[in-house]
Amino acid sequence: MLNHQNLTRKQKGLYFQLKRSIWNGRSISNILKAASRNDLLKVLITGCTTRFPTDGVRTLTLLSLAIHGDNNECVNSILEQAQNNGILQDILTTANIINYQNGLMYTLTSLGFAIHHNKGRYINVILTKAQENGILQDILASRNIVQYLNIIAYTLTPFSFAIYKGNNECINSILIRVQNSDTLRNILTSKDIVQFPGVTYVIKPLAFAIYKGNNECVNSILIRAQNSTMLQDAFTEVSTVLFPYGRYTLNACELAIVVNENNASIRTALDNVSISSRYVRENSKVN
């Protein structure tokens, strides 16, 4: 992300003109159309820093600023002109930073920002635009970071960030779009990182949903995986737990046992997708 000090005089004028229009809810379509590709790229990856007396500091791109203000026209205009100029992926993968006064900090893409604020309309608009432009897999492979006082850190794909936020509508929207495709396999086998003092989890989405206790998400993942003939891959993909003195690996059932002290919830989800009890027994033994 750039700041406005990195812009030329002309680009600064364009940036502040767009920012004022977004703040005031005015149309920006003609302003964007008149800008050159290079100027457009520079201003759309530049961050706007806003300080809130009781809610910390936010540094947002113009797209995320429009999302935050529920400005449909501005969001659609930015995405359309980014697409027309071949810079959509650059815009959608630029970081936004939210630094709360309680020590919690988020570093998010615009999709992650929409997930964080539960902006369902814009989640779907971004996913649709990414899918239409053949960059959905890249957007869903980007990372969002959650940190707390430099003690706890999560590094998550948008799908796993939706799991972290408990946003089941977003989870299902992503799964529907990627079903029966290699993108689904990539999502289900992606590696997220969860770090606590003394222990690090390198964890897959199914295991992360179990870890977060999101049974609805567990069930959705397993059903989509079954429908796309990826059920065994999703179930048997291991998570790695790293300690200062070593490591061990777990499959989904094993993690359910470790985290929840029993695997009743995962058994229920597995029953719903007709995995045999023998398969559960054979794959739920902690070594």
Quote the pLDDT of residue 267: 56
Confidence of residue 231 (pLDDT cuts 50, 70, 90): confident
What are the distances in angstroms from CA 222 to CA 125, 151, 162, 267, 270? 26, 32, 17, 12, 7
Confidence of residue 193 (pLDDT cuts 50, 70, 90): very high
Residue ending a domain, among 142, 174, 199, is: 142
31 shares its domain with 130: yes
- Token pair for 216: 């609805």
81 shares its domain with 160: no
Give the chain's mean pLDDT. 86
158 shares its domain with 135: no
194 shares its domain with 167: yes
**Is 80 exceeded by the pLDDT of residue 101?**
yes
101 shares its domain with 187: no
166 shares its domain with 188: yes
For 61, other C-beta atoms within 10 Å of its C-beta total: 25
pLDDT, one tens digit per residue, over 166-182 is 999 999 999 999 988 88
For 216, other C-beta atoms within 10 Å of its C-beta total: 13
Which residue in 3, 13, 145 sits closest to 60, CA to CA? 3
What CATH number is associated with residue 49? 1.25.40
Confidence of residue 256 (pLDDT cuts 50, 70, 90): low
**Is 70 exceeded by the pLDDT of residue 133?**
yes
Owning domain of residue 232: 151-287
166 shares its domain with 117: no
Confidence of residue 241 (pLDDT cuts 50, 70, 90): confident
22 shares its domain with 129: yes
End-to-end alpha carbon distance in the chain: 45
What's the number of domains the chain is made of?
Answer: 2
Task: Compute, in degrees rounded to 10, the torsion defined by CA atoms 230, 235, 238, 241.
Answer: 140
